[in-house]
A and B are shown apart, each in its own frame.
Chain A
Amino acid sequence: MDADSARLLAAGISMGVGSIGPALGLGMLISKALESIARQPEVSGDIRVNMFIGIGVTEAVALYAFVVALILIFVA
């Protein structure tokens, strides 16, 4: 395997493997938030705001993988 193909392979793997954790995390986060909204609809506003904060923080992990993939393809 030459350096270029190793680089492209690493980019694909980093994006694919790096998405597993955030996807699981987002699923858990949103399912729990929906569950608590269904239990207590009167505080749904608060739960939704906190859910979005959590989404932002969790999703960032996948985006780091995306940035690493971009660096591998275009910069390294």
Chain B
Amino acid sequence: MKRGRLFVILALVLLGVVVLFLLPGGESAEFDVVEEFATHPLIHLPSIGPVDLSVNKTVVYLWITFGVVCVLAFFINRGVKPVPGRFQFAMETLYELARDSIVGSVMKSGRETWFPYIAGVFFFVLISNLVGLVPLPFAEHWSLGFYAATANLYVTLSLALCTFVFTHYAGVRNNGPVAYVRNWAPASAPPVLRQLIWVIHAVSEVFRVVSLSVRLFANMLAGHAILAVFFGMALLFQNYAAAALLQGGSVLIYLFELFVAFIQAFIFAILSGVYIGGALDQEH
């Protein structure tokens, strides 16, 4: 009985696949992944000198992220109950993750001072990555599309530059400017080697900004490009079987992107914590 039903279901699925394969496909459509990431101005505004004030997709996504973070903070702040509900429990878990797993595990001193910045970066990047996975009508001709503010190099570079500035501010304030710069190389090393290590460290300080920004940018860009390719290949193949398969695959990619969105926010925040913590407590 059970076996017979399984056989019937299997036969139906096979028949469905064959019918899908035989169905004539629709019109062939041109499809360009690059268009998904082009930032055409949505609202034209005059430019002041070299600064173009036009509102494009990235700006709108930044506003949305800002709004969502503010609304979340407002609602969680208004009614903190002793017995947490579902929403409050989720927010408490994220807060504890930021406090214990990120700031608590990588910084020795200055946890209270730098927790707001690192948690702020964590929540901003996380919400921005997650907003990027909601289809919103800001693609060309106001059609639905995926885009994330963090899939733009300028946004991630600004965030990384904030971390860069705060790292050196923290180091200079905690150790004094001369001692901070001198401590970039270990004092116990022999003279020539010491200068070499100092130069290598100075170069690495610059490349931290590059790696921090490019990591987040390239991860989000690659994820969205793969999603776009999976959606767009259905148009190219003109075949319902391939379309069904690719749509199923895009669901799996989407779930993986949710994971990546979270992991990238975590890594951005934790590396900011490592850099700031390293400047605060220098190894002598």
Contact = CB atoms under 8 A, between A and B. Distances in A.
Contacts of A64: 214, 218
A27 interface: no
B222 A52 contact: no
A17 to B, nearest CB: 17
Given A53-B271, A59-B215, A66 B266 contact: no
B215 A63 contact: yes
Contacts of A38: none
B274 A53 contact: yes
A74 B267 contact: no
Contacts of A52: 263, 266-267, 270
A74 B214 contact: no
Interface in A26-52: 45-46, 49, 52
A66 B105 CA distance: 31
A16 to B, nearest CB: 15
A49 B219 contact: no
B172 to A, nearest CB: 25
Contacts of B101: 45, 49
A49 B104 CA distance: 11
Contacts of B192: none
B270 A49 contact: yes
Contacts of B271: 53, 56
Contacts of B218: 63-64, 66-67
B34 interface: yes
B242 interface: no
**Interface core residue of B211, B214, B218, B221 (most chain A CB under 10 Å):** B218
B229 interface: no
B105 A46 contact: yes
Given A63-B219, A64-B214, A66-B218, A53 B270 contact: yes
A53 B212 CA distance: 12
B106 interface: yes
Contact of B214 (A49, A55, A60): A60
A8 B218 CA distance: 19
B106 A49 contact: yes
Nearest to A56: B267
B153 to A, nearest CB: 9
Contacts of A67: 214, 218
Interface string B250-284: 00000000000001001100110010000000000
**Interface core residue of A46, A49, A57, A64 (most chain B CB under 10 Å):** A49
B215 A60 contact: yes
Contacts of B267: 52-53, 55-56
Contacts of B214: 60, 63-64, 67
Contacts of B215: 56, 59-60, 63
A45 B96 CA distance: 13
A23 B215 CA distance: 16
Interface of A: 45-46, 49, 52-53, 55-57, 59-60, 63-64, 66-67, 70, 74
15 contacts: A45-B101, A49-B102, A49-B105, A49-B106, A49-B270, A52-B263, A53-B267, A56-B215, A63-B215, A63-B218, A64-B214, A64-B218, A67-B214, A67-B218, A70-B221
